[in-house]
Structure 1
């Protein structure tokens, strides 16, 4: 019984970080996956990790409750930083939809339950399929496992309130925004030139109803440019995945005091 209690304490501590990780982590936190399956998967993953992670002998006391809170915050923070990076795809779709005139036609994202732009939803679905094709979900699960090398389970107060962490989150968001801008700028710039040409046409030919003609032209040009630039979009998504993994590792280093 004396050996069972420390093992149970270690398992509950690992389960707390894993389940908190799944709450905010891209792909694993989507509503398309039933909550029951996520809980079962998290419990099985924590059960496998309790025999592979070097866990200290723990006792269930007041300090243990603080460790549980710390583990929950650690899992949430690491998942949120990955979610911030992945949200760049939605931002890029919003930029393009605004220029195309699709901004008024938002749809409900079945994965997050929030309203999403049309092309943002398309890019997000494409990114998820690309992430699965590149075994990115395996890398995300590796992040859960290797997080204990950077943030030990018995470390009571990680660097949640450090100034360096705030700067890191701001820089990560700025990097994600820059990648979103790079993904959308070919179509946005092309549509700006189309708007300029339509404005000149409206001034030259006042009898032409430019609003009736302009929307089909902009939509058609957008899809043509999107088809031509699809290879570039996929490469930018791969770069985004690299930024996501690196950001998760750097955040673990900061929280671990490294």
Structure 2
């Protein structure tokens, strides 16, 4: 990803952490701001050029950042174990101080993938007046057997292949990123994690996109959002797995630009 990466300092979990971020087209001061929230193993760098492509197509400004524990942001402490509420804590405790630190006082559009999509939903549910709208790709709203099965496969792959080396290209600590995500998803109490009831508080427009061939979840995830949030726009993409912005990037860009543009004009 091109551009100059910077860092913001926030207080989280009783210590100061630095958050890696990148601004896109900051000079477009009157354009809508799109904030990108990465997946469970993502980072600023792992988005590659997709955020720039989306912002260029829509004439948007962008903010891409790595959550604490990921990318070049502060890694987890060696003894830091995330609990079942780890996505709630990111939505409720990390996003607000990050936005404050970066001087973001306008309601942004949140573009979230996988865990990032869940975090976007949780933020919009807790702070309905602080978000303009959501675009969520393959979000999780409850835990499915297929999700756990593939995360178990990911664990075995991490232990037996060069995956740690490959992830190390995108994270200061591959272990921090991988085990923070993997261990909690495979923690037995996490099987009861469910945010469906919280979705009722969402008041902004929502576009929910998922691949028909998503290996980490069924279409009941985005259809479940539609059953709780009136007016949700669903997009179910054929020939697409868990990363629609990689498998069908132009379709995702076109749908997102149209969605944001029409909702702003409404």
TM-score bracket, normalised by the shorter chain, equals under 0.3
* Length-normalised TM-score, structure 2: 0.26
Which structure has more relative contact order (CA 8 Å, sep 6+)? It is 1
Larger radius of gyration: 1
* Length-normalised TM-score, structure 1: 0.27
Structure with greater strand percent: 2
Structure with greater helix percent: 1
